[in-house]
């Protein structure tokens, strides 16, 4: 945090972005019968995942390894506070 400004990652979390992790299985170009795993992680919006879709479009356009399977996990890092019912009230004088 420089000059009183919050980080870009924190701003994204406040805007509803959560941490997305994708395991990408792809075929090795020289040996297409073999699969290799690549882990991608970034802040993204569930359920549309615009950042992941942008990355996968780049992959298909620029990388030789053909995609086989993509598995995605997503977690919001900033959540509403948890509320609990209270049984009693204690007053201190």
Residues 6-30 have pLDDT tens digits of: 899 888 988 889 999 999 999 999 9
Q: How many CA atoms lie within 13 A of 22 on its CB side?
A: 20
24 touches 60 (CB < 8 A): no
Q: How many CA atoms lie within 13 A of 4 on its CB side?
A: 0
pLDDT per residue as tens digits for the range 69-91: 999 999 988 776 665 666 766 66
Q: What is the pTM of this model?
A: 0.77
Q: In whole angstroms, what is the distance from residue 90 CA to residue 61 CA?
A: 64
């Amino acid at each position: 945090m420089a000059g009183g400004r919050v980080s870009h990652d924190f701003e994204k979390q406040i805007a509803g972005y959560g941490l997305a992790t994708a395991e990408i299985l792809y075929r090795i170009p020289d040996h297409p019968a073999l699969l290799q795993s690549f882990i991608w992680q970034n802040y993204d919006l569930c359920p549309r995942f615009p950042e992941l879709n942008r990355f996968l479009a780049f992959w298909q356009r620029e990388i030789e390894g053909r995609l086989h399977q993509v598995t995605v996990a997503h977690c919001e890092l900033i959540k509403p506070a948890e509320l609990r019912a209270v049984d009693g009230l204690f007053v201190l004088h």
